[in-house]
Amino acid sequence: MEDEERLAGELSEVLRHVKMNRCDGLSLLTLSNPWFLTDLPDGLARLDWITWLDLEGTRITDLAPLASLTRMEKLDLRGTPVTDLSALSGMTHLRNLFLEGTEVADLAPLAACGRLREVWLDGTHVTDLAPLARCRGLRQLSIRRTGVTDLSPLKGLPELAVLDLTGSQVQDLRPVLGLPALCEGEGAVGISFEDTPVALRDRALARIAETEDPEVRASDLVDHLTGGARLSGWRGDA
């Protein structure tokens, strides 16, 4: 109880400080790692100019107070027991979202977050990536140790170039041929797919998965999936 009261007092002071420093352009609020924090502090909903919020390691479950923070660009919920992302549907400026180790299963609210660039879903209960099909700016996605089996919802995303599937349940890698940025090597690219069913049943893919350089791994995978057709002018399947 004393710890909780002390934390409440500290958070109140933090919020007062943040409000006073708004004129200085402060946009980051870190509430990470106080494991006994179960509710978002009073007044947070009024700070609608915050663009970066770190709640990693807290016990927050209800994100409703964040619904008014529509200028949010970066949100860190790693290791929280969060299940419902509904409050994020209005965050149309959101670019970086970290959900590793949460209880999240449904990504539907993210369909409205068209500016997302980076999403981490490692160890979540997510199995369906369909809501991300509308996130045309998505550049990096990690679904390590999830139950995702189907990558086809990602097909056609023009900027997706970094994809980590390690330990997922992905059954078919051919949908990556519909990712022009990854297939054509535009900027930093890479794909990891070790310990997936598709790699475990195909020796050639297993060897490619063990390639250390992520860019070479991506290039070798595309060549394998196309039978080397890229060498004669292939431009992807997007």
**Domains: count for the chain:** 1
Asked whether residue 20 is domain-assigned, the answer is no
Asked whether residue 198 is domain-assigned, the answer is yes
pLDDT digit string, tens, across residues 49-96: 888 988 898 899 999 999 999 999 999 999 999 999 999 999 999 999
CATH of the domain at 142: 3.80.10.10
The torsion angles phi and psi of 7, rounded to 5 degrees, stand at -60, -45
Asked whether residue 209 is domain-assigned, the answer is yes
CB 123 within 8 A of CB 100: yes
What is the number of other CB atoms lying within 10 angstroms of the CB of residue 21? 11
**Residue 227 domain boundaries:** 27-232
- Collect the ranges in the chain with pLDDT lower than 70: 1-29, 31-36, 42, 186, 228-238
Asked whether residue 181 is domain-assigned, the answer is yes
Asked whether residue 12 is domain-assigned, the answer is no
- Paired tokens of 237: 């399947």
108-133 in b/e burial notation, b at 16+ Cβ within 10 A? ebbebbeebbbbbbbbbebbebebbe
